[in-house]
Amino acid sequence: MLEKPNQTKNLKNEIKIFFCDVDETLVVKNSVPEFNREAISKLHKINPNIKLVLATGRSYSLAEKIIREIDLYDKENEYTICGSGSVIYENKNKKILYVKQLRKNLFQKLFDFGKKFDVFIIFVALEYFYLYKPTQTEIERRKFEQAKYKILPDDFNLDNLLNGEDKLVRIVFGKENSFDYLMSIQKELKKIPEFNDNLDIFISSGQYLEINPKGVNKGVAVKWLCDFLKIEKNQTMGIGDSDNDVDMIKNVGFGCAVKGAKENLKKIADYICEKDYDQGAVKEVIDKFLL
């Protein structure tokens, strides 16, 4: 890990890649605010050797709008980590470099488990979100985000979904503004040896319980991409806010947390922003350390 800098130390000559979470970190109301766009644009112009890589729980189709807004869409040698580490793309032609999926039998077992609780269920594929019993709020959120989604009928056949052309990657249980309730489900999942031994489970945005294959998270994806690009850990930096960012922050040389980040993330961060995500935390970090 890089030495913790003082308020004036600049890391621009040390950092080669900056990993940035999206929701509650970079974007406000599903768009990159002007202050962050200007900071990123300035970074690209002044120090083009520093790569900015989005590391998000979103699918690529859902992240595409954001990638366009920061002028990295369809570009060679630019990358995006999606699905909280499940898939890594080169932005040019959406080329998949790395993908890890849940085993098919675990999808069925997790679906049966999830139906016992007061949650809606999301099957996350490479292109679409498949929503089972979504709330109206969740549907409106997907519309607002311009996401590709399909609502599943109550009697849908999971085998058809698993064997379809759109490759299923992982599963998510959702309930709005219910962090404690999702925590209780997470504890129940971990009591089952088959789940505890084969899954990585974490909460994002306070309303999604994300379920990945064991060893699949943003931190592993960060390490994989750095190995692929031959970049050392001490040449990396990251910023995030939530539980699914913890492994990412642990696996970069210098980790930042937005002001309103979860306490467990703040405890391991090298720098806690003076500003929250909607006040310009990403701009703060770029201005302070990379320009």
Question: C-alpha dihedral over 177, 182, 183, 187, to 10 degrees?
Answer: 180
Lowest mean pLDDT among 36-50, 76-90, 153-167, 217-231: 153-167
Contacts of 286 (CB under 8 A, 6+ apart): 18, 39, 40, 42, 43
Class of domain 104-213: alpha beta
Among candidate residues 179, 60, 64, 183, the one with its CA nearest the CA of residue 129? 60
Give the residue extent of every domain in the chain: 17-99+217-290, 104-213
Quickly state the pLDDT bin for 252 (edges 50, 70, 90).
very high
* CA-to-CA dists, residue 285 to 20, 62, 178, 193, 258, angstroms: 11, 25, 30, 41, 9
* Residue type, position 149, single letter: Y
The SS3 of residue 119 is coil
What is the gyration radius of the CA atoms in the chain, in angstroms? 18
Mean pLDDT computed over 23-34: 96
Q: What pLDDT shows up at residue 146? A: 85
Q: Beta strands of the chain (E only): which ranges?
A: 17-20, 51-55, 79-82, 87-90, 95-99, 120-125, 129-132, 149-152, 168-174, 199-204, 208-213, 236-240, 254-257, 271-272
The vertex-267 CA angle with 262 and 273, nearest 5°, equals 70
Q: What pLDDT shows up at residue 5? A: 53
Phi, psi of 211 (to 5 degrees): -125, 115
Q: Is the pLDDT of residue 2 over 80?
A: no
Q: What pLDDT shows up at residue 145? A: 85
Length of the chain: 291
Q: Is the pLDDT of residue 11 over 60?
A: yes
Residue whose token pair is 């997470």: 186
Average pLDDT taken over every residue of the chain = 94
Class of domain 17-99+217-290: alpha beta
* CA-to-CA dists, residue 235 to 35, 39, 263, angstroms: 25, 20, 25
Q: What pLDDT shows up at residue 9? A: 66
Q: Is the pLDDT of residue 4 over 60?
A: no
Prediction pTM value: 0.87
Mean pLDDT computed over 127-146: 93
